[in-house]
Amino acid sequence: MENRPQIILTGDRPTGKLHVGHYAGSLKRRVELQNSGKFDEIYIMIADAQALTDNADNPGKIRDNIIEVALDYLSVGIDPAKANIFIQSHVTELTELSFYYMNLVTVSRLQRNPTVKAEIQMRNFEASIPVGFFNYPISQAADITAFEATTVPVGEDQMPMLEQTKEIVHKFNSVYGETLVEPKILLPDNKACLRLPGIDGKAKMSKSLGNCIYLSESEADVKKKVMSMFTDPDHIQISDPGKLEGNTVFTYLDAFCKDEHFAEYLPEYANLDELKAHYQRGGLGDVKVKKFLNNVLQEELSPIRARRAEYEKNLDEVYDILKRGSETAREKAAKTLAKVKHSMKIDYFEDESFLAEQKKKYSNS
């Protein structure tokens, strides 16, 4: 449908503070989309119920990160006047939707989901996969469809979840009639942002690897991490030619730096291409490039840090934002659930024809 309302739904598991990988991969884009004026409704979800699917024995950890993630959202510029930040478990309609969607997905289809496969391996779940965890792609389809999301801005690792969601939408609509809205995934268009490596050069930033730069980190700590970043191990003397592939500092520059940064912090170069050419030629030291990256990152992170400090002093306000956002989210999800039950013809008490049909059935017996 052409003129359907444009709706964003996305979210994160509250298992820890968010880092610059989240920021480059998704948060920054969300704020741009929010401010583009192109969206009618925006929902940003703190996915506590999904986080519990592999943390059932540690609800305290999830509880402890609700406000943390809300602060991260608010500090990057998610504006509660434009976007509803909400807590997944508060929207109980989501579990009800999942329950009906479960009938439309096979076990073997879930087993083929690459993200689930990778996570099962990472968590050593092979022999003992919790059913709830195994089911989370279905619950994610409920999250997305409950809000009639047209656009889901997420990182690349969420692609299989969107595929699963689309399949459920098609299946539901073909079995029960046109009801659910098919979402589109929106990936970062900058390749470096797709998967920002950790500061050690390892493929992914992850808390357990200790290679993250957090959004809430102090200026001094960010600098320390940048100065310790993995570069080209063969670039020993300044005069040595340097490699860009796998060079974390340059990947971060690809993700964050703009030409204006050169004018401000490194005017000997006009742009990143010139800096890269010099590095490859030899004669450019890592420390100089790292100092530049530090300036670029600090420029990005310092307004975030300042906004966070304000909100940290106003936790009552943060709490209210979450509460209001959760209520609004719940109203929306309830409307979709009603449509779903209507399509499935299980809305017995809203459906006057239900009793009439039955009366007819028993009238001439």
Interaction site with ligand TRP (CB under 6 A): 9-13, 47, 50, 140, 143-144, 152, 154, 158
Of 75 and 113, nearer to ligand TRP (C-beta) is: 113
Residue type, 304: I
User: Nearest approach, Cβ of 325 to ligand TRP (angstroms)?
Assistant: 15
Dmax (CA) of the chain: 98
Residue type, 288: K
Of 72 and 232, nearer to ligand TRP (C-beta) is: 72
Of 214 and 279, nearer to ligand TRP (C-beta) is: 214
User: Nearest approach, Cβ of 147 to ligand TRP (angstroms)?
Assistant: 9
User: Nearest approach, Cβ of 10 to ligand TRP (angstroms)?
Assistant: 4
Of 72 and 143, nearer to ligand TRP (C-beta) is: 143
Of 212 and 229, nearer to ligand TRP (C-beta) is: 212
Distance CA 205, CA 193 (A): 12
> Residue 96's CB: how many other CB atoms inside 10 A?
17
The DSSP symbol for 214 reads: B
Check: CB of residue 295 under 8 Å from CB of residue 256: no
Distance CA 15, CA 48 (A): 8
Place of tokens 């998967």: 195
User: Nearest approach, Cβ of 73 to ligand TRP (angstroms)?
Assistant: 13
Contacts of 314 (CB under 8 A, 6+ apart): none
Of 18 and 296, nearer to ligand TRP (C-beta) is: 18
Of 9 and 105, nearer to ligand TRP (C-beta) is: 9
Identify the bridge partners of residue 86 per DSSP, sorted by sequence position: 45
First vs last Cα of the chain: how many Å apart?
46
Check: CB of residue 259 under 8 Å from CB of residue 248: no
User: Nearest approach, Cβ of 197 to ligand TRP (angstroms)?
Assistant: 18
User: Nearest approach, Cβ of 64 to ligand TRP (angstroms)?
Assistant: 17
Check: CB of residue 293 under 8 Å from CB of residue 226: yes
User: Nearest approach, Cβ of 141 to ligand TRP (angstroms)?
Assistant: 9
Distance CA 302, CA 119 (A): 33
Distance CA 66, CA 85 (A): 11
Residue nearest to ligand TRP (CB): 47
